[in-house]
Structure 1
């Protein structure tokens, strides 16, 4: 795959995961839960969607089986820890500064964009660098 194709595909998957994340957040907030619960639920939903897309379409990982998926997903989640803090931090700062839904979501999009750029490099180096035995 060409570099431009990879970038476009990765960006499209980031947008899909962001939409899933924000949709779940809106749903959780609509059920009268607070921002912390919405952040956790949205992040979890976006994480699963992004992992499945990245595994197959970005990194071409063909490993199969529960052990292989478990190891990859665990590493993928760990690499997302720091990048999640970037996302949560920018979303929370935007909310605290302006206290509007538009500001909160703009902060989320900014944080997710920065986080996904960092995460790609981490995933390429640590998660999908070597084959995992199934």
Structure 2
């Protein structure tokens, strides 16, 4: 069933609309996981643990959506797919550092309050913008 969903070429939505929708979906998942972790754990490194868990939660779903519905990558081969996922993950580190810098800065500016989520949203938005361009050129090679 998943193959059928991923293989379907979306109709009626522009590339930009799909990418924004998927970025919002992954961002929402990320922030919900962060909130859950912060609600369950208040110890040392809670913020970094929450940020790492949120980032990890969105990685695989966003990769699959980007691969099949943004870049229409249908090239066969598990090894090729693994190579793409590894490169996608490595490039995610770069954009995640941007996202985390914004979130930590706003966390500090807001004394640990909800302003942190404004920084997270800004960082995620800028990170996804950069990620699209990196993925287009370096991971999937076309758009």
TM-score when normalising by structure 2: 0.83
* Cα shift at 1:16: 0.1
Q: Does 1:27 align with 2:36?
A: yes
CA-to-aligned-CA distance 1:69-114 (integer Å, 9 cap, x gap)? 2111101011112111110000000001112442111100000000
Name 2:6's counterpart in structure 1. none
Matches within 5 A, 1:71-90: 71-90=83-102
The alignment partner of 1:62 has SS state of coil
Q: Does 1:10 align with 2:47?
A: no
**Aligned residues between the structures:** 129
Change (3 A) 1:40 1:121: same
CA-to-aligned-CA distance 1:14-68 (integer Å, 9 cap, x gap)? 0000000001111111111500100111001111221111011001111345322
Matches within 5 A, 1:65-104: 65-104=77-116
| Runs of 5+ unmatched residues, structure 2 | 1-9
The alignment partner of 1:27 has SS state of helix
In 2, Cα distance between equivalents of 1:102 and 1:65:
44
* Cα shift at 1:119: 0.6
Name 1:106's counterpart in structure 2. 118
TM-score when normalising by structure 1: 0.89
Deviation above 3 Å: which 4+ runs of structure 1? Answer: 63-66
The alignment partner of 2:14 has SS state of helix
